[in-house]
Amino acid sequence: MRILAIDPGFDRCGYAVFDKQAQEPTYITSGLIEPKKSKNHEKRFLEIYDLLTQTIDTHKPDKIIIEQLFFFKNQKTVVAVAQVQGAIMLLCAQKGIPVEFLTPLAIKSAVTGYGLSDKKSVQKMLKLTLNLNGELKSDDQADAIAAGLAYCYMNKNLL
């Protein structure tokens, strides 16, 4: 089973691809989509949509995992991120790919064993577990990798 995990964001959208075979997940790749801030909202959504379409067409995932919106201090940001989630869900519906959401608490619990871990602890565990050598470009990319790994851990017996 191929998994595409996404950390949705308006400024930066992280993604990660895993193969889930038997008990051990295999990390394939990850990246970061950073639409130009000079573009208007519609063009930024289109850029995210187009680049995720290319990612889906290249990696052909069987399931999409999205980090669920949980809490935002900035109301302006939460609206834009929710809109990005909507665009991602539309893309998944068009491609016929099922979507699952994982909360940040569930992701941190699965990756580090502690649901209130900070980002540095999660990234350290990702580097140790997946042998990532300087590959993490941002928190958003790391969050997508963590979401994919967490899904694999939480569904060990599911192929």
Among candidate residues 130, 103, 129, the one with its CA nearest the CA of residue 116: 103
Backbone angles phi, psi at 15, to 5 degrees: -145, 155
Q: Is residue 159 situated within a structural domain?
A: no
For 65, the enclosing helix (H) or strand (E) is strand 63-67
Catalytic residue among 34, 139, 140, 143: 140
Domain count of the chain? 1
- Whichever domain contains 17, its CATH number is 3.30.420.10
19: annotated active-site residue: no
Residue tagged active-site, from 7, 34, 139, 143: 7
Q: Which among 112, 25, 34 is positioned nearest to 63, based on CA atoms?
A: 25
In a domain, 99, yes or no: yes
In this prediction, residue 48 carries a pLDDT of 96
**Half-sphere exposure for 72 (CA within 13 Å, toward CB):** 12
For the question of residue 140 being annotated catalytic, the response is: yes
Q: Domain span at residue 89?
A: 2-154
Low-confidence stretches of the chain (pLDDT < 50) are: none
Question: In this structure, is residue 43 part of a structural domain?
Answer: yes
Q: What is the pLDDT of residue 158?
A: 63
50 is catalytic: no
Q: Choosing from 34, 67, 139, 143, which is the catalytic residue? A: 67
